[in-house]
Amino acid sequence: MNEAIDSLHTQTGSAPIGTLDPDCLIACPNCDALQLDAPVPVGALARCHRCGTVLMAPREQAMTRIVMLAATALVLMVAAVFFPFLEISAGGMVQRSSLLDAVLAFSSGLMLPLTFATAALIIVLPSLRLASIVYALAPMALGWHPARHAVPVFRLAQALRPWAMAEIFIVGVAVALVKVAGLATLSFGPAFWTFSALVLVTVLSDTFMCRISVWKTLEERRQP
């Protein structure tokens, strides 16, 4: 299905590549090797001929899918924050906690900075990242010109990627459940399922994302 495009290299094997126009070249972000910037067919995979890093992997209708999935994830995030997340009962006492409660757990004294960090990692940064993806790419999906400041906004989305830790939080929830299991009975609130769906949708959206193709589209559409 995914055939590697090695022709990038064979075309340049003998030509003095340094004399070529920089606009028809692409440099591997990981190893700096120059290669011809040949068009990559939809569904194919272009790898760097030296280090094997995937340079481009354009998918069919990628823009529309990314935007739709990111918008879905944003809606799910709103629901996940406000509905009850987990419910615990022991000895007749019931404790409900929402995602916000989990975040505010560190809100005493020295732990306060950790409150902000947790809030950022599991709510603010994922939401900001999804919102910037929608903002930068929605006009692309509709075939319009890019929105104002689409370039810095998409750069922000890329920079936020390692710091948006919603999926790690879900694994944390699973571990916490096992730890509490001996102590009390637990049940999931609606927000737990919403948040899990959000993680799945985000991952799905990221698999369609090919950053070099997105940057190229943004660049092309900027031309009047």
Partner 1 sequence: MTTSAPHPIPPAITARQAGLVGCQGCGKVHHAGVSVCQRCGAPLHSRMPGSLQRVWAWLFAGIVVYIPANIYPMLLTTSFGRTTENTIVGGVMDLIDYGSYGVAAIVFLASVVIPVGKFLAIGYLALVVRDGSRIGRGSGLHGRQHLFEVVEFIGRWSMIDVFVVAILAALVQLDFAATISPGIAAVSFSLSVAFTMLAAQSFDPRLIWDAEEGTAR
Footprint (CB under 8 A) of partner 1, residues 50-79: 50-53, 55
Residue 141 in contact with partner 1, rule: CB under 8 A: no
Binding-residue pattern over the window 79 to 118 for partner 1, x denoting contact by CB under 8 A: -------x-x-xx-x-x-x---xxxxxx-x-xx-xx--xx
Residue 76 CA, distance from chain mean position: 15
Q: What angle do CA 118, 170, 197 make, to 5 degrees?
A: 115
Which one among 5, 8, 40, 49 touches partner 1, defined by CB under 8 A?
49
Separation CA 123–CA 121 (nearest Å): 6
Report if residue 190 touches partner 1, rule: CB under 8 A. no
Report the distance separating Cα 6 and Cα 15, nearest Å.
Answer: 16
Stretch that binds partner 1, among 62-70, 71-79, 177-185, 195-203 (CB under 8 A): 177-185
Q: Are strands 54-56 and 25-27 parallel, antiparallel or unpaired?
A: unpaired
Question: Residue 171, exposed/middle/buried by CB under 10 A (0-12, 13-18, 19+)?
Answer: exposed
1 binds partner 1 (CB under 8 A): no
Q: How far is the CB of 122 from partner 1 (least distance, A)?
A: 7
The residue count for the chain: 224
Indicate whether 187 belongs to the interface with partner 1 (CB under 8 A). no
Query: Which residue of 124, 184, 197, 200 would you call a contact of partner 1, by CB under 8 A?
Result: 184
Nearer to partner 1, 72 or 107 (CB): 107
Interface with partner 1 includes 45 (CB under 8 A)? no
DSSP secondary structure letters along 53-91: -EEE---TTHHHHHHHHHHHHHHHHHHHHHSEEEEEEET
Q: Which is nearer to partner 1, 76 or 210 (CB)?
A: 210
Q: φ, ψ for residue 29 (rounded to 5)? A: -65, -20
122 versus 138: smaller Cβ distance to partner 1? 122
